[in-house]
């Protein structure tokens, strides 16, 4: 009687052991989210495996090509704050002509002091007619002068490097011959601006052979300096030659286009602890011109067939909420042939000096 009971218990035990033993699992494809060998990745969600295994024929291909899980983003919000979704900046067309470059603005800067220091020559001085509008809430501190050389601009940046602030705009090179030495000049500028969050370098109109090298050097800067963005004004002019009244200087439409371009590449201001106006991108007219005598640095051609030289008065404009060092100087001007003099605006510091040259310049390093 005892023996049948023992046999029954042994049979039940064998059945239980057989039911608990692991089954042979089918080989699984590699985890495509883990990346190359040695890297780590997020494990696949179970629901994705179930969906792939029930997809019937071709389920292996589905598993290898379909996303294993939907990407998610997690934001940490402090008490009392609300979350906001930042829309990627829209592409911007730089001029009215069909071939005008279309650019993607750089990512917005983080909050900062909201100051932008701009140094340049007569081309930047002309754009200042519209920069205070296009830059919105930025605190613009501009120092631009007709005939300014690269070395003079470098001196200004060095002298004011302690108060430049969050961003800078550099438009220099029209009054220099260019050439390989410009690489060292740009590196010197960046040695003073290495802590500036964003530096907007503007390419120049290539009106002398060496200016092609200047633009190549400017366009290469972001590879070495992550805080540099390039406003490619030269490319805009190639597509919109109607923006110029002479070799270099923009008319009113060109001044608007340049001011817009600088604003787009600088990005919106996010000043600490305050709400400021956004960028204001102005509509750009096509082919609109203004009298050349009202454009800083522009000269009219001689009225006779005799070749002669021209010169203009030098204008310096400084716009600042925190004063920068400025100097007021008056020197005699001598001219030969036809001369066009630009009357200085009432609110500017005025000096007299050399105009934009029409011939080769001496080497930049003197």
Q: What angle do CA 133, 345, 352 make, to 5 degrees?
A: 125
Instruction: State the pLDDT at residue 300.
Output: 39
Instruction: State the pLDDT at residue 85.
Output: 52
CB 309 within 8 A of CB 337: yes
Domains along the chain with CATH numbers: 92-301+311-351 (3.40.50.1110)
Q: Whole-prediction pTM value?
A: 0.61
CB 260 within 8 A of CB 134: yes
Instruction: State the pLDDT at residue 19.
Output: 60
Instruction: State the pLDDT at residue 168.
Output: 98
Q: Which of 267, 187, 275, 193 is nearest to 227 (CA)?
A: 193
User: Coil, helix or strand for 264?
Assistant: helix
Mind listing the pLDDT tens digit for each residue in 237-278?
A: 999 999 999 989 999 999 999 999 999 999 999 988 788 999
Instruction: State the pLDDT at residue 18.
Output: 62
* Helix boundaries (H) for the chain: 2-20, 46-53, 59-65, 122-127, 131-134, 150-159, 181-192, 211-224, 233-239, 252-266
Quote the CA–CA distance of 250 and 247 in Å, as a whole number.
9
Q: Over pLDDT 90: what percentage of the chain?
A: 51
Q: For the chain, give the longest Cα–Cα distance.
A: 138
SS3 sequence of 147-175: CCCHHHHHHHHHHCHHHCCCEEEEECCCC
Which ranges of the chain have pLDDT less than 70?
Answer: 1-4, 16-88, 287-366
Instruction: State the pLDDT at residue 71.
Output: 38
Count H helices and E strands in the chain, helices first: 10, 9
Mind listing the pLDDT tens digit for each residue in 306-365?
A: 332 222 333 344 444 444 444 333 334 433 343 333 343 333 333 333 333 333 333 332
């Amino acid at each position: 009687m005892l023996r049948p009971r023992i046999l029954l218990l042994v049979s039940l035990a064998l059945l239980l052991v057989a039911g608990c033993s692991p089954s042979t699992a089918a080989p699984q494809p590699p985890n495509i989210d883990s990346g190359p060998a040695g890297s780590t990745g997020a494990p696949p969600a179970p629901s994705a495996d179930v969906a792939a295994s029930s997809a019937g024929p071709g389920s292996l291909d589905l598993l290898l090509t379909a996303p294993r899980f939907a990407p998610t983003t997690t934001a940490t919000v402090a008490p009392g704050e609300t979350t906001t979704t930042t829309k990627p900046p829209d592409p911007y067309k730089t001029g009215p002509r069909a071939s005008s470059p279309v650019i993607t603005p750089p990512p917005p800067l983080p909050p900062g002091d909201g100051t932008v220091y701009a140094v340049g020559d007569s081309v930047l001085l002309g754009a200042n007619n519209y920069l205070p509008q296009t830059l919105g809430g930025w605190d613009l501190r501009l120092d631009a002068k007709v005939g300014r050389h690269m070395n003079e601009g470098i001196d200004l940046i060095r002298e004011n490097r302690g108060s430049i602030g969050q961003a800078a705009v550099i438009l220099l090179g029209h009054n220099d011959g260019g050439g390989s030495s410009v690489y060292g000049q740009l590196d010197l500028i960046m040695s003073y601006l290495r802590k500036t969050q964003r530096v907007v370098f503007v390419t120049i109109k290539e009106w002398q052979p060496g200016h092609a090298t200047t633009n190549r050097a400017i366009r290469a800067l972001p590879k070495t300096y992550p805080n540099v963005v390039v406003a490619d004004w030269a490319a805009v002019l190639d597509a919109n030659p109607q923006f110029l009244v002479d070799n270099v200087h923009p008319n009113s439409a060109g001044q608007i286009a340049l001011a817009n371009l600088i604003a787009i590449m600088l990005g919106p201001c996010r000043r600490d602890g305050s709400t400021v106006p956004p960028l204001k991108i102005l509509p750009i007219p096509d082919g609109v011109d203004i009298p050349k005598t009202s454009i800083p640095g522009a000269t009219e051609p001689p009225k006779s067939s005799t070749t002669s030289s021209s010169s203009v008065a030098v204008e310096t404009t400084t716009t600042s909420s925190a004063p920068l060092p400025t100097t007021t100087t008056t020197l005699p001007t001598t001219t030969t042939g036809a001369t066009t003099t630009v009357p200085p605006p009432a609110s500017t510091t005025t000096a007299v000096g050399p105009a934009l040259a029409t011939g080769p310049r001496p080497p930049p390093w003197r």
